[in-house]
Structure 1
Amino acid sequence: MHAPSSRPAPAIPLFRLATVTVFTGIGAGLGGMALALLLHLIQHLAYGYSVAHLVGHESFYEGVAAASAERRIAVLLACGAIAGFGWLVVYRYGRPLVSIKKAITSGDPLMPPVTTTAHALLQIVTVALGSPLGREVAPREIGSLIAGWLSHYAGLSLEQTRLMVACGAGAGLAAVYNVPLGGAIFVLEVLLRSFELRVVIPALASSVIAAVVAWLGLGDESQYVVPHFALSANLVIWSIAMGPVFGVAAFAFVQLTGRARAAAPKGRTLPVLSIANFLVVGLLAVLFPQILGNGKTPAQLGFSNELTIGLAATLLLIKVAITTSSLRAGAQGGLLTPGMSNGALLAIVLGGAWTLMWPGTPMGAFALVGATAFLASSMNMPITALVLMVEFTRIDHDFIVPMLCAVAGSIAVNRLLETKMKTRVRAASTVEVEAERA
């Protein structure tokens, strides 16, 4: 008599993984949708516009521009107080924060629920009130948090739990920005650095499910409205020539913001610095309402050919300054949209100079290419940046040609600069060790 076959046993963990994948997509979709609606609600209440319609109708920029100078300053002061005291409480009384990348690589992928949720909500609230940092980290954290705990209760292995935590982050990004393919590619290229089939399937499935679920509250809308731009040899040549410039600019931006984030306070000085920082941001917003928020406004104005070269240069300087100062003051947030905005503004400046010799290309076309090249290098994700920009704008596919040219030059120069910096750091460390031995 033969012993019963044990071959069907592996189907149980596979079924569990599939179930967790589906529920991760649903949870991240609902979480991303809720965070996006909360962001819109706070924006509308703070600046007093379109309170009855959270999605569509007036844009954030239109609401800010219609608000009085006193209201802008008051809202940014409130932003500074909430950021300062909020993160002080999180650091002092909450469990230590666990980043998504740390959760993916550690022996315990679970993220503390209360601290992570508070951290995410503070980002959404402050960005809604006008913080220049990005809002994309919050939905990624919530997605990863949900995925980690679902994996824990489903009894998945450590490797499978790490996979689902990464997929939760991509699904959160897909939900809040309506970028199902971009969310999946972000998981594969940035978080897991693997395109194996066992990773591709759950990444795609969870991101698509999350995006579709988020349509219930946010609709199937693109993030940016972009006019039709014709592909031209002029634009392609400009993209090849200027790609390296965006690589240098992105490298400098990453170094600047990295130092600011590393020096940010976590003690009693945090509220003071935060309130002072956002007071300055509010005063600047009296003259330049375009600077408020994560950078979507200047990017959209750039794509729509609504910025002059002088205004673009001014906004670029201000956005870099207040993004850096906000990180230095202790505020938290992402750099995806701020980086994209910086690239668009820089492209308008460079493109404007280019058109003095070779006219004919709209400023918006330059802005789209520059935003992609800057984003690719500043976030170290060339494939994800291309996919995100296509999904953000739904631009014609033939426009990918100049984007690819600019991204290639940008990434090449950026990697070269990173290699040189690492070499200098190693050399300096060696000198210090030898000096200590002597």
Structure 2
Amino acid sequence: MDDKEQKFKTYRSLSNMHNFRLRLFAEGILTGILAGIVISFFRFALSEMEYLRGALYNRLWVSDWSINACWFAVLIAIAFILHKLNCIEPMAAGSGIPQVKGAILGLMKMRWLHILWVKLTAGIIGIGAGLSLGREGPSIQLGAVTAQGVSRLMGRTRMEERYLLTSGASAGLAAAFNAPLAGVIFALEELHRNFSIMVLLPSMAAAFTATIISRAIFGRATIFDIPYLQLLPISYYGIVILVALASGLAGVIFNWGLLNIGRFYSLPCFKRPVQKIAFALICAGILGYFLPEVLGGGNDLINHLAKAPVSLQLLLIFLAGKLIFTLISYGCGVPGGFFLPMLVIGALCGSICAQMLIMLGWIEPAYATNIMVVAMAALFASSVRAPITGTVLIMEMTASYQQLLSLAIAAMVAFVIAELCHSKPIYEELMQRMLHKKAPEPAVLEQRNVIELVICSGSSVSGKLIKDIPWPPNTLLVDVKRGESQLIPAGDTRLLSGDFIYILTATEHVEELTKMVEE
């Protein structure tokens, strides 16, 4: 589809907003069905690989040295396979969430079919081999590229494709965590950063449809099985704040580690990318014998912490092992995210805090699991800087709906701690580093797109006439939506906070325009 046809279709959609919304809703349902099937297959494959890995290490313990040596040879062979897959599709490497953010902003291009099969294959192999990576980041990217495939096959415009990318990402998280509300909130709060009905409708349709598909296959059980989660007394809310402070600082440390693990992999012994992957897999092989709990995503470790008491010394070993091995696994660059490992680290921090508080006599042992759940939400909010998502996500994953207030307080406090420490939102910073490392192609920057922005209260354009606003060059304001009314933009039209504006501009101006309407 050439630019002229893109513009014509975009203008036609904006001039008939009612039908456009309904079409997005229907496409969101289709995206949710397809994404739900893809992510459900991904979940099933990873669960089978995890079971096989556990059985394998049980056999290796009683086998002779030659069999064990063969397993390490297999791990090295897997490193070469993963390296080859990275070379085939570099955009499939890592979590995938920064790539989705970049694609929504129009700053990155994703080859949906290549990413789909490479991410599935490499994710199953790498996480199945024991790397401390989660399925959630990959699931978000898999959902997004599934949506992109729907858009391309149906010949949709770039503006419409961005809405579908957001809805696909929403479906990916919802199906991965069996958490539809969290999927919607994450897509709105972290990815699109826009709560317009144009984003909300397809995202909700996709998330709820994908969850139905997921529950039809895996059942209605929550990802985390945490029994005996009681309502936390209000008198304990001071403890919640203390735990949130500790978890917020842990989130800052976690982000620092992720952003600086490249320094470790820049050592002379890691001259080739395959050497990084081989090192991480060999570490996984060694840990499989002595500390298998830190392998893979780690949701079973959270379930174990909630059901059986663990000594403080063992908790500290688990925390150190999971944190260091997650950094090693993510830093090697293979497809896989740190979303679930981050929650596991939060749960371990919470369990350590609970043990210490019980020893001091500040809380009753019955509330230890509450502290663990609160710490998970706090660390997520500190790292990702998405407190609403963190609150809703943990609430849905643990079915602890009565904990809403304590989770929200913890997420808010941890958010403030991260701000005071000047820690940057992890996915935002990873995206910026990717863009800095490899500048967008000139053809991408020159591409003209229609973007939707919302005027924020107190921004530099709020209350100004259109003709008085210093728009970037070659930028055209094509539509203004105020409530249910549509305004034809004119020079003497005054923009108000809450207005949704649709701007035709080159991709290189998107970030500048976003700052104009937000700051």
* TM-score range for the pair, normalised by the shorter chain length: 0.7 to 0.9
Q: CA deviation at 1:342?
A: 0.8
Aligned residue number for residue 381 of structure 1: 386
* Contact 1:72/1:285, CA 8 A, preserved across alignment: no
Q: Could you report, residue by residue, the CA deviation over 1:364-397 in whole angstroms, capped at 9, with x for unpaired residues?
A: 22211111111121222111111111111101x3
1:168 equivalent to 2:168? Answer yes
Task: Choose 119-128 or 307-316, whichever is displaced more.
Answer: 119-128
Cα distance 1:13–1:256, how it changes in 2: closer, same or farther (>3 A)? same
* Residue correspondence of structure 1 range 201-350 to structure 2 within 5 A: 201-230=201-230, 231-233=232-234, 235-260=236-261, 269-350=272-353
Structure 2 counterpart of 1:390, one-letter code:
M
- 1:85 pairs, out of 75, 80, 83, with 80
1:415 equivalent to 2:419? Answer yes
Q: CA deviation at 1:403?
A: 1.8
* Contact 1:90/1:115, CA 8 A, preserved across alignment: no
Q: Distance in 1 between matches of 2:214 and 2:352?
A: 36
Q: Distance in 2 between matches of 1:64 and 1:233?
A: 46
Q: Distance in 2 between matches of 1:109 and 1:272?
A: 28
Q: Could you report, residue by residue, the CA deviation over 1:148-174 in whole angstroms, capped at 9, with x for unpaired residues?
A: 121223233322210110110110111
Q: Distance in 1 between matches of 2:324 and 2:133?
A: 12
Q: Distance in 2 between matches of 1:182 and 1:152?
A: 27
Aligned residue number for residue 425 of structure 1: none
Q: CA deviation at 1:76?
A: 7.0
Q: CA deviation at 1:131?
A: 1.2
Task: Choose 242-251 or 356-365, whichever is displaced more.
Answer: 356-365
Aligned residue number for residue 436 of structure 2: none
Q: CA deviation at 1:251?
A: 0.8
Q: CA deviation at 1:235?
A: 3.5
* Contact 1:77/1:275, CA 8 A, preserved across alignment: no
Q: Distance in 2 between matches of 1:420 and 1:47?
A: 37
Q: Could you report, residue by residue, the CA deviation over 1:189-243 in whole angstroms, capped at 9, with x for unpaired residues?
A: 1101122222212111110001101223222221111112332345422111221
Cα distance 1:91–1:307, how it changes in 2: closer, same or farther (>3 A)? same
Q: Which of structures 1 and 2 has the larger relative contact order (alpha carbons within 8 angstroms, sep 6+)?
A: 1
- Which protein shows a greater Rg? 2
Structure 2 counterpart of 1:299, one-letter code:
I
- 1:40 pairs, out of 44, 47, 50, with 47
* Contact 2:36/2:171, CA 8 A, preserved across alignment: yes
What secondary structure does 1:133 align onto?
Answer: coil
Q: CA deviation at 1:295?
A: 2.1
Structure 1 counterpart of 2:33, one-letter code:
I
Q: Distance in 1 between matches of 2:228 and 2:237?
A: 16
1:68 equivalent to 2:36? Answer no
Name the structure with the higher strand share. Answer: 2
Q: CA deviation at 1:420?
A: 9.5
Aligned residue number for residue 434 of structure 2: none
Q: CA deviation at 1:64?
A: 6.3
* Contact 1:247/1:377, CA 8 A, preserved across alignment: yes
Structure 1 counterpart of 2:300, one-letter code:
T
Q: CA deviation at 1:245?
A: 1.8
Structure 1 length-normalised TM:
0.82
- Structure 2, unmatched stretches of 5+, are 1-11, 426-519
Q: CA deviation at 1:107?
A: 6.4
Task: Choose 122-131 or 340-349, whichever is displaced more.
Answer: 122-131
Q: Distance in 1 between matches of 2:236 and 2:408?
A: 12
Structure 2 length-normalised TM:
0.70
- 2:397 pairs, out of 389, 392, 411, with 392
* Contact 1:172/1:210, CA 8 A, preserved across alignment: yes
Structure 2 counterpart of 1:413, one-letter code:
I
Aligned residue number for residue 18 of structure 1: 25
1:181 equivalent to 2:186? Answer no
Cα distance 1:346–1:420, how it changes in 2: closer, same or farther (>3 A)? closer
1:29 equivalent to 2:36? Answer yes
Q: Distance in 1 between matches of 2:279 and 2:90?
A: 27
* Contact 1:33/1:176, CA 8 A, preserved across alignment: yes
Sequence identity percentage:
22
Q: How many residues align?
A: 400
Q: CA deviation at 1:261?
A: 5.2
What secondary structure does 2:225 align onto?
Answer: coil
Structure 2 counterpart of 1:33, one-letter code:
S
Cα distance 1:14–1:404, how it changes in 2: closer, same or farther (>3 A)? closer
Cα distance 1:322–1:263, how it changes in 2: closer, same or farther (>3 A)? same
Cα distance 1:73–1:405, how it changes in 2: closer, same or farther (>3 A)? farther
Structure 1 counterpart of 2:157, one-letter code:
S
Q: Could you report, residue by residue, the CA deviation over 1:70-99 in whole angstroms, capped at 9, with x for unpaired residues?
A: 6898667645542x3234213434465581
Q: CA deviation at 1:277?
A: 2.7
Q: CA deviation at 1:33?
A: 0.7
* Contact 1:137/1:334, CA 8 A, preserved across alignment: yes
* Contact 1:188/1:195, CA 8 A, preserved across alignment: yes
Aligned residue number for residue 405 of structure 2: 401
Structure 2 counterpart of 1:26, one-letter code:
I
Name the structure with the higher helix share. Answer: 1
Q: Distance in 1 between matches of 2:381 and 2:219?
A: 27
RMSD: 3.0
Cα distance 1:19–1:321, how it changes in 2: closer, same or farther (>3 A)? same
* Contact 1:235/1:402, CA 8 A, preserved across alignment: no
Cα distance 1:391–1:127, how it changes in 2: closer, same or farther (>3 A)? same
Structure 2 counterpart of 1:387, one-letter code:
V
Aligned residue number for residue 124 of structure 1: 124
